[in-house]
Amino acid sequence: MATSTSTSATKRRSSIKKTVKDQSGAGRIKVGELLSKAGYITATQFETAKKEVQKNGTRMSAVLRQLEYIDEDTVFNFLSRHHNYIPAIIKNEPPSPDAVNLLPYELAKQYMAFPLRLAGNTFQITMAEPSDAAAIEELQDELHKEVSVCVSTEKDIVEAYKKYYGIDDEEARSFFSSGGEEVEEELSITEVDDFGAIVAEAADDFEIESGVEDDHLDQFAASDAPIIKLVNGILVKAVQDQVSDIHIEPYERTMQVRYRKDGSLFKSMNLPLTIKNAITARVKILAGLDITERRVPQDGRIKMRMGKNRAVDFRVSSLPTLFGESVVLRILDKSALNVDLTQLGFEPETFEMLKRCLARPQGMLLVTGPTGSGKTVTLYSSLNSLNNEDIKILTAEDPVEFSFKGINQVNVNQEVGMTFAAALKAFLRQDPDIIMVGEIRDYETAEIGIKAAMTGHLVFSTLHTNDSAATIGRLIDIGVPPYLIASSVTMVLSQRLGRRLCQNCKKKMKYSDMELLQAGFHEDELEDLEIYGPVGCPECNGLGYRGRVGFFELMEVTEEVAKAISAEVPEDQLRKIAIQEGMTPLRDAALKKVRDGITSINEAMRRTVAHEESLPAYLINPDEEIYEDGDIIIREGNKDLDFFKLIRGALTVVKGGKKIAELTEPGEYFGEMAAISGEPRSASVISKGRATIKRYPGEKLEEIIYKYPDIAGQLFTTMTSRLQKSNQITVKLAGGGARKPGPPPR
């Protein structure tokens, strides 16, 4: 029997060894060696951490974190992406009760593990260091179960200890001897093959002291093969992973390379400071910049060919910082550019409005939003849809990012006087049909663009504003008269880019009614609302998102919107009128994507702002009317429903040919009873001298009462005062109450 048991245990150990090896590709190799081999830490850092582990018996990942060599999110993503451990975010995947009962806290604490679920004889756990095969074997022997291993961050596991094992805050803090950690944005590691060996070689060959500004050393290092390979690898991998930007940033203790993908930054690697100047110099050489100048910002461009038919441009910007030069490279890959308007994510109603605006022969079309919101792609897509042989298109850009056949593109150069305004003036002498100005920055550019739009040209441009209504205010601020804006601007398109949920791993999420209402959903839709959120899987690199989608707010300058612009109505009122004319606000557009399961509610709230509902146009700017002496404002017996407010002057109330009251207080409402009861007018109201009043639509009274309590309060105050006066008159007519009181009023 003992032999049988021993054989069974041996089989289990053999099985788990094979599983671990298959998952990590490294067998018993510890996480520190894996990170060192991949280039995330240097050999010196690994040796220092290893001595600390041997001295104190601490986990390698905890030591690396405490020494600030690497953060735990980097370890988490490295293990999940590079070594195929399933990422587990415990707060999104609550454990089963039987699993928690099976793994005692002391045992879980010993191995920095947490139980997830039990399926037959297989026990799924998550660990901060799942690459420790020996620890997993020991766990398997302790539990007498086949163990399946996932990976989680240390702080995620400790939070789970607090929630499911009930440990106190002091016990939780004991896991972090560094004195607590700040919660950082979850980062993802972009795999870079063989970078570890390259970095190690570069660091060994060129021991350049951090902070030493020696140009000769920099030039020499930048021209050496390992540095060339490293920089080329960073560029090639960025293109292959379809990232939009590369950030090479020096800090006090390390040099960090980050990629931006789908609008978010993700750490790629930490490089030793010894090669800081060599990396920067190599990039500057490729971009044609001055490698000896480190005091001022520089801009350049790199062109890289990938095969016979593919070329990728990198727009390079260097910036002097406290610890050296920060370099940012914007990737301009035309093969990855999508200029199909139908694929950008427009809602059907918004897309129809856009097509209607593009079909007009003249006018100014503005695209607004912050940097990185996709304005350039929208402009290129619009121009591409209009690009025909019988149309001449001229563009002024700073700089030209992508070239298109059939479109004449001009680079703006401030140093030689080639500004947007100068380019526009020249364009008008080139007989264009369509003009695009990269950005309106000043009055001169705006004025020329508007005049071009008013003289038979279709003009496209961009502004950096928060939304469509704010764009009008921005144009007024730089000096453009409102009447010119109203007559020349055809549309204002405001947009944002949000991340798409990974369709492979997204799952339904539960939110409270209060959270959904605060986000902007309507109360009547909460019951049937299905909201999806990110989970993370190998296909999306554990992020829960893949790709991006646009949120669009298109304000078409209709006749009503043009009137509002000319009248210089407030921004919130202009927004309200535009919504009445068919505009979908940014937040509503984002929530539509949430309803459709395209993005998450967190992404919608992060990228858009919900504007509190302002007073409608009929309350802020109602029709103002002037009546002369004897003019009838309300006629007794009529069935109209409008109600009014006295602005100035005096009014007489007449019933059955007899004067029964006067209205003399500015701000006093009258005529509201017909709107409330729906019955014919009980009296006439006649102007006494010259009077000015404001008219309000009676059919909106119910909406006012429910939505705008301040206005409703004023109305009821007026009605109460009028009833009190009426009662006083009744009492006087009845003899002041000396007679026997009649029945109570009904």
Q: What is the pLDDT of residues 234-280, one digit of tens each?
A: 888 888 888 889 999 998 888 889 988 887 788 877 888 778 888 88
Output phi, psi for 223, to 5 deg. -95, 0
pLDDT confidence band for 307 (50 / 70 / 90)? low
Q: How far is 654 from 634, CA to CA, in rounded Å?
A: 10
Please tell me the predicted confidence (pLDDT) of residue 707. 62
pLDDT digits 0-9 by tens, 682-705: 899 999 999 999 888 888 777 777
What mean pLDDT, rounded, does the chain reach?
Answer: 78
The secondary structure of 445-510 as a DSSP string is HHHHHHHHHHTT-EEEEEE--SSHHHHHHHHHHTT--HHHHHHHEEEEEEEEEEEEEPTTT-EEE-
Q: Where are the alpha helices (DSSP H) in 225-293?
A: 225-240, 276-286
Closest of 294, 272, 295 to residue 284, by C-alpha: 294
Q: What whole-number distance in Å separates Cα of residue 470 and Cα of residue 484? A: 16
What sign has the CA pseudo-torsion 162, 166, 167, 168?
Answer: positive
Which residue would you say has higher pLDDT here, 355 or 706?
355
Residue 199 DSSP label: H
Contacts of residue 94, defined as CB under 8 A and 6 or more positions apart, other chains included, come to none
Mean pLDDT of 510-521: 82
Tokens linked to 74:
């980097």
| SS3 labels along 608-630 | CCCCCCCCCHHHHCCEEEEECCC
Q: Is the peptide bond before 538 cis (omega within 30 degrees of 0)?
A: no
Residue 471, pLDDT > 80, answer yes
**What does the block give as tokens for 440?**
């309106």
Q: What percent of the chain has pLDDT over 90?
A: 13
Specify the higher pLDDT residue, 72 or 578. Answer: 578
What is the rounded distance in angstroms from the CA atom of residue 125 to the CA atom of residue 535? 18
What pLDDT, on the 0 to 100 scale, is given for residue 318? 93
Q: What is the pLDDT of residue 183?
A: 35
Distance of CA 267 to the CA centre of its chain: 20
Q: What is the pLDDT of residue 29?
A: 40
User: Do residues 284 and 231 touch, judged by C-beta distance below 8 A?
Assistant: no
- Reported residue count of the chain is 746
**Measured CA distances, 737 to 528, 699, 722, 724, 725 (Å):** 60, 40, 20, 16, 16
Q: Is 695 left (phi over 0), alpha (psi -120 to 50) or beta?
A: beta
Judge whether residue 219 has pLDDT over 50. no
Residue 183 sits at φ, ψ, to 5 deg, of -75, 120
Residue 253 has a pLDDT of 81
| Burial state string for 384-407 with b = 16 or more CB within 10 A and e = fewer than 16 | beebeeeebbbbbbbebbbebeeb
Sign of CA dihedral 218, 224, 226, 232: positive
In sequence order, the β-bridge partners of residue 103 are none
pLDDT, position 23: 39
The per-residue pLDDT for range 182-192, each reduced to its tens digit, is: 333 333 333 33
| Of the candidate ranges 85-89, 258-262, 420-424, the one whose mean pLDDT is the lowest | 85-89
| Model confidence, pTM | 0.54
Strand partners, 652: 662, 686
The answer for 108, left when phi > 0, alpha when psi is -120 to 50, beta otherwise, is: alpha
Lowest model confidence (mean pLDDT) among 20-29, 597-606, 649-658, 689-698: 20-29
